Amino acid sequence: MCSANAPTPRRWDGTSARSPRSRSLRVDADSPTRLVRSAQPGRCPDCGNRVDWHPYTNGDDRAVGLHPQELPAAAVPALSRWHVSSGIAHPAHDGTPWCRIPHTALCPARSAPAALTPQLTALRRHLALHTRRLINNGTLTTPAAPPSLERTEPCSPAHPIAHLLGVHYIASHPIGAIQCVAQTRQRHRCTRPVLDDQAPHGTWTLAPTTLINHRSRPGETMAVYDLTHLAFAEQMRWRHQHCPGHAASSAADLALTEWEPFDPRLHQQHIHQRLPRGGRKQHRGA
């Protein structure tokens, strides 16, 4: 008696000769991140070592840089143990023998924490040697000393404060250098800036220094790139950090957005009390 089902073709080693049907990846509508992968790889700007950026479960859209490799939990102090679940970083241990650790605890460009185990001390020394090699071959340049005179303030803030969707954010790059995070047809990150000459611009203005609870500090102002007068869709484009060509893109992003909720207590050094030179003319609302 013969079976009605045709036998599955096999290779010489017994594995199936049929190729699995490919499936396209997509981002769920309720996903906490638009990234397909669980982490965004990068490098520390201070020491040049590898860092994995993960969304941080603190409710304010910040990303935390973790050392890219898991470490034995016994070698990491309890307060420095993190774990990653569904692509989201959690500042706690999950009970497994392994854990993650923030890069700031190992960064050789920072002061060493007081409580470092011998294993972490050796790892920190290894990262310091790699930093030295990067400096010697010219890959990493040490930051120049900041100017001491207040009147040498740059034309455009390096970390501008923007107001959109009713929230103050701080960016990691000047307004004109904020890069689109969308995915192109070639599956590369888009190289175009979010600021576009053909799209409405924001307006530089002096605004009261606002605290997290929306209270203002009396008598204190700060330069803000105001986008609140733009249409809601245009503000969402800025919030998603997309260029006009990818404003309606449904593809997964290839990088985390660099917006961070502004906190005057944490970002005091980035508060500018004067408008950028030429800001009124360059970024006039349309």
The whole model's pTM is what?
0.55
Are residues 162 and 263 both part of a single domain?
yes
* Residue 278 confidence (pLDDT): 58
**What gap in Å lies between CA 4 and CA 101, rounded to an integer?**
56
| Residue 258 contacts residue 172 (beta carbons within 8 Å) | yes
Residue 7: per-residue pLDDT? 66
Whether 9 has a pLDDT exceeding 70, the answer reads yes
Q: How confident is the model at residue 114 (pLDDT cuts 50, 70, 90)?
A: confident
Q: Which two tokens stand for residue 92?
A: 């706690």
Please check whether residues 208 and 268 belong to one and the same domain: yes
* Domain coverage including residue 273: 154-282
Which residues neighbour 267 within 8 Å (Cβ) at sequence distance 6 or greater?
159, 161, 170
Q: What is the pLDDT of residues 199-250, one digit of tens each?
A: 889 999 998 886 555 555 555 788 999 999 999 999 999 999 999 999 888 8
Q: Are 160 and 171 in contact (CB under 8 A)?
A: yes
70 and 96: one domain? yes
For residue 148, is it within any domain? Answer: no
90 and 167 both lie in a single domain = no
Instruction: Give, for 164, the enclosing helix (H) or strand (E).
Output: strand 161-164
pLDDT in the model for residue 24: 57
Cα 36 to Cα 40, 103, 111, distances in angstroms: 10, 23, 34
Q: Provide mean pLDDT across the span 82-107.
A: 89
pLDDT tens readout for residues 147-206: 444 444 445 788 999 999 999 999 988 999 999 998 888 888 899 999 988 888 999 999
